[in-house]
Amino acid sequence: MSAISVRGTRRKPGTVRRGVRRNLTAYGFLCGALICFAFFSWYPMIREVLLSFQQNNFVDAPVWVGFDNFRTVITDPTFVTAWVNTAVFTGLALLVGYVIPFFAAIVLNELRHARAYLRFVVYLPVMLPPAVAVLLFKWFYDPGAGLFNQVLDAVHLPTLAWLDSTSTALLSLVLVSTWMNLGTGTLIYLAALQSIPGELYEAAELDGAGLFKRIWHVTIPQTRLILLVMLLLQIVATMQVFIEPYLLTGGGPENATVTVAYLMYQYAFNFGDFGGGGALGLMLMIVLMVFSAVYLRVSRDTDN
Amino acid sequence: MSNIIVEPSRQDTVPPDPDAKRPAGRRSRPKKQDASRGVRTVVSPHTLATPRGRVIYWIVLIGVVVSFTAVFVFPLYWMVTGALKTPEELAQIPPSFFPTSIDFGVYAEAWDQLDLGTFLYNTLIYAGGAWLITLVIDVSAAYALSKLRPVLGKLVLAGMLSTLMIPPMVILLPAYLTVKDVPIFGWDLLNTPWAIWLPAAANGFFIFLLKRFFDSIPRELLEAAQIDGASPLRILWSIVLPVSRPIIGVVSILSVVTVWKDFVWPLLVLPDSDKMSISVGIASLSAQMPQNVLIAALVIASLPAIIVFFIFQRSIMAGLTAGSLKG
């Protein structure tokens, strides 16, 4: 901005008019995006805050109710359950979905055959519409003739109730979520591994480092930033979990799979309480924005 | 896409990308992968060349191929064959590995009963329209921010990028209320394609990708055209777009795939059964269908995605690393 004022002191005739025209053209090009962002991104962000502090039946003017919506939501017994479920879901999904892709990528990077096939196959589930993958797994989870119990039975292990039991329902959600997202992480790590200079491994080997020491002292430090970025991205993505409980369990059995996003949906569309839903959304927004802010900070450091 | 690529030969006029991590697209990728075959990885080539190393390598290779096939391909095989089984055969314990009688009629049945033609057509319209509108709006916005640099441009860019920090799920309710009753205009966009198209264009990540690419186009190239009297629109069309093919390819794929895969948003804004997208349609009818018909519908719904992946594999994977290395 300072450049403009500097230029202004030595302005030649016609510069102002050209500047105005350039700006008008630029905003002409920008207007479509400005309208879309204003209506469908910026305004909803503000409205999310308004929503959580208002009581609104969408007929009369909305009433300011202070923290009433928050009080309603927090005193709801499912509130704590939903947060615990979301945290457990995120934790389990990280345990499986964060560690496995990294080691899968390390192994894939060593292979000299079937690379194209393996890369294709690992990403295939990511391409499926999530609703299709989830409904497919719903059939696999069938306690009677479902694929998983059939396999367990074939290897003489005890069968599970999967979605029907409070102890395995959340785990089943993690399983399908991991299956359909595993490919993303694997391919991203694979790309990161390919940029590690080979001399580092040679030097480590000359120093007598074994295979696991080389992974620990070369591979992991070299991919540290991408590992951190992926960790944050995955936390933000999995904490928004909605489609799995919506399609598989409806939050049951006994609220064992109610997540925050699903509870928010229920408040708005099942109970007709958009204020309560808005309050839940705002709380989730604040938690996720902390992770997003760290993520943006880290990925900016990756740039430099 | 052919309507956008005006002069493909101009691609050669852009200097090689200084930033190797950028999604420069098709040309640079295969080279990198070929090179990596000769490049040193964790296991040293000498260890691999020993007889013991070779045996271990083949055991690991076979183990990985078998386990990846079992985990990622077998469920799909089970889906395709499951649709061909009769409900009795589906309930049978232990299950049959191959369907006893192959009758593709179930696919036709699923097509008719679930009205998959309508759902697929709807989804095509949503994804195609979103792609077109996203490209027009985001490319021109990124061009203005990168090359025309208006007053307050930095602020506008910051505002657009700040939306990356807000996960879509947390503004789901206010976004739904906005679409239901658009402020100022008072339109109700529910059950219209605009409810998908316009929010899809408000994508900070696409603006970011496009602007970063446009920034790398040398100024001299545009100034030369400017001196020749070309208008900004003309410069965008004849100079910027032709050299930006790789990034436009990445954004195109990402925008189509995003709309195609989306579930929650179309679930809310397209509640009428004749307006539903394929995912929402199948999910909403899943409870009333016989098992084998439902599975056949799942197969049909996953086919377009798998075919697209076959054809655009490279662009899709380029978009993936573009998205994660620099978000």
Q: Residues B13-31: pLDDT tens digits?
A: 333 444 444 444 444 444 4
CATH number at A225 reads 1.10.3720.10
pLDDT at A281: 92
Which chain B residue's Cα is nearest to A190?
Answer: B321
Tokens, residue A223: 């991919």
Q: What's the average model confidence in pLDDT over B71-97?
A: 85
Q: Sort residue A255 into left (φ over 0), alpha (ψ -120 to 50) or beta.
A: left
Distance from CA of B60 to the nearest CA of A (A): 8
pLDDT at B137: 95
Question: Which residues of chain B neighbour A22 with C-beta distances below 8 Å?
Answer: 148, 150
Question: What pTM, to 2 d.p., does this model score?
Answer: 0.84
Q: Same structural domain for residues A178 and A33? A: no
Place of tokens 């999604």: B23
Question: Which residues of chain B neighbour A1 with C-beta distances below 8 Å?
Answer: 151
pLDDT in tens, A46-58: 999 998 998 877 7
Q: What's the average model confidence in pLDDT over B38-66?
A: 85
pLDDT in tens, B315-326: 788 777 765 444
For residues B289 and B156, which has the higher predicted lDDT (pLDDT)?
B156
Is the Cβ of B31 closer than 8 Å to some Cβ of chain A? Answer: no
Is A62 part of any domain?
no
Is A57 part of any domain?
no
Query: Who among B71, B263, B327 is closest to A233 (CB)?
Result: B327
Q: Does residue A253 have a cis peptide bond before it, meaning omega lies within 30 degrees of 0?
A: yes
Phi and psi, residue A92, nearest 5°: -65, -40
Q: What's the average model confidence in pLDDT over B142-163?
A: 90
Report DSSP letters for B158-193, one per residue: HHHHHGGGS-GGGGHHHHHHHHHS-TTT----TTST
* Sign of the dihedral defined by the CA atoms of residues A226, A228, A229, A233, in that order: positive
Phi and psi, residue A54, nearest 5°: -125, 155
Query: Who among B143, B181, B268 is closest to A29 (CB)?
Result: B143
Secondary structure element (H or E) that encloses residue B208, with its range:
helix B204-215
Phi and psi, residue A63, nearest 5°: -110, 135
Q: Same structural domain for residues A44 and A98? A: no
Is A63 part of any domain?
no
- CATH 1.10.3720.10 occupies which residues in chain B? 114-327
Largest CA distance in chain B: 78
Q: What's the average model confidence in pLDDT over B54-68?
A: 92
Query: A55 - beta bridge partners?
Result: A63
Select from B113, B129, B132, B130 the least CA-distant residue to B273: B113
Distance from CA of A166 to the nearest CA of B (A): 22
| B151/A191 touch (CB, cutoff 8 Å), yes or no | no
Q: Which domain holds residue A16?
A: 2-52
Residues in chain A, pLDDT under 70:
1-13, 59, 302-304
Is the Cβ of B175 closer than 8 Å to some Cβ of chain A? Answer: yes
pLDDT at A302: 64
Is the Cβ of B199 closer than 8 Å to some Cβ of chain A? Answer: yes
pLDDT at A150: 85
Which chain B residue's Cα is nearest to A291?
Answer: B165
Which chain A residue's Cα is nearest to B303?
Answer: A128
Per the structure, how many domains does chain A have? 2
Domain spanning B114-327: CATH superfamily: MetI-like (1.10.3720.10)
C-alpha to C-alpha distance for A80 and A83, rounded to whole angstroms? 5
Q: Is residue B156 within 8 Å of residue A35, measured between CB atoms?
A: no
Secondary structure element (H or E) that encloses residue A57, with its range:
none
Amino acid identity, position B290:
P
Long-range contacts of A80-86 (CB under 8 A, 24+ apart): A81/A255, A81/A258, A82/A255, A82/A258, A82/A259, A82/A260, A82/A262, A82/A263, A83/A260, A85/A170, A85/A255, A85/A256, A85/A257, A85/A258, A85/A259, A86/A239, A86/A241, A86/A259, A86/A260, A86/A261
Which chain A residue's Cα is nearest to B47?
Answer: A211
Place of tokens 């719904």: B301
Query: A54 - beta bridge partners?
Result: A64
Helix/strand/coil for A64: strand
Q: What's the average model confidence in pLDDT over B74-81?
A: 91
Q: Same structural domain for residues A33 and A172? A: no
Mean per-residue pLDDT of chain B: 82
Q: Same structural domain for residues A253 and A189? A: yes
What ipTM score was computed for the predicted complex, to two decimals? 0.85
Helix/strand/coil for A55: strand
Please report, for residues A176, A252, B95, B139, B259, the alpha-carbon distance to residue A145 in angstroms, rounded to integers and kept in the order given.
18, 21, 7, 51, 34
pLDDT in tens, B239-262: 899 999 888 988 998 899 899 999
Question: Which residues of chain A neighbour B150 with C-beta distances below 8 Å?
Answer: 22-23, 26-27, 30
